[in-house]
Amino acid sequence: MIHIGICDDDSVFRNHLKEEIAKYFTNTTQDICCHLFEDAEQLFAYDITSLQLLFLDIRLPGKSGLELAQTLQTNGAASTPILIFISSLSNYVFEAIHYAPFRFLRKEFLAEELPEALTAFLQKYHAPNTSVCQIQLVEKGSSHMVSLNEIQYLEINLHYLDFHCTQQTYHVRGKLSAYESILREHSFCRINQSCMVNLDYIRVVSNSSIVLRNGQELFLSRSYKAAFRSAYLKFERSQTHVLTI
């Protein structure tokens, strides 16, 4: 059973989207259950981690869809739904891309764009689990196998490296250059002389800093800026279906 959330203050469109989703899934063998919400209060009163897919309107009373997406990313829950933004205003796509949505659907083109989005979602949902790349970190004589997707960033700390992970920080003796070539192949990028960041954990990029999902701000140096922006743009394109206007 796939649980799908629809958060939109327009009850007519909310029900219309539910019907279109149900119509799509009648041609599949997949069982679904749609949960309807009209604002942020209703959405966060529900266990969002039980949803596998969330359609989120950008213009909502109270907190906007973009603010809700930011809250979801900042909370850093172990399991969050795949996010699809919906809006009648195409210009929001440029702001929405900062939250790495799976898709951005225009309400007036729902019939044309929804089937492709749901097909892509099902492919992702049913994709076989691949082995997660791990790295061995030795801290005070103890060896730890850490998944690369758990590492948010690593930074030089005198003769050591601090690997800042989702659950804890590992203090490992070594040089950044010894890990750089390996991590670069797995969506890590240098942002200054002393730090590499996992691009998947970035929420906001500004002129001289980046902000992670947990709200932490890291310095982006001028000498690494061009290479970083190129790597991040390539990463975003690989993760996000960008609407061409």
pLDDT of residue 128: 54
d(CA 107, CA 113): 9
The torsion region of residue 100 among left (phi > 0), alpha (psi -120 to 50) and beta comes to: left
Q: Nearest Cα to 224, choosing from 187, 197, 186? A: 197
Distance between CA 120 and CA 127 in Å, rounded?
10
For position 41, what pLDDT does the model report?
Answer: 85
pLDDT at 210: 95
pLDDT attached to residue 141: 81
- pLDDT of 241: 47
The SS3 of residue 82 is strand
Which domains are delineated in the chain?
2-125 (3.40.50.2300), 134-239 (2.40.50.1020)
Please report, for residues 89, 124, 125, 132, 183, the alpha-carbon distance to residue 129 in angstroms, rounded to integers and kept in the order given. Answer: 36, 10, 10, 9, 21
Which amino acid does the sequence have at 238? Answer: S
Contacts of 243 (CB under 8 A, 6+ apart): 90, 93, 104, 106
pLDDT recorded at residue 184: 87
Residue recorded with tokens 């309400």: 107
pLDDT given at position 74: 63
Q: Which pLDDT tens digits describe the chain residue by residue (245 residues)?
A: 899 999 999 999 999 999 999 999 998 888 999 999 998 889 888 888 888 999 999 888 877 778 787 777 665 444 578 889 898 876 666 666 666 778 889 899 999 999 999 998 998 887 654 445 788 888 888 888 888 889 999 999 999 999 999 889 999 998 998 888 889 888 999 999 999 999 999 999 999 999 998 899 999 999 999 999 999 988 877 765 444 44
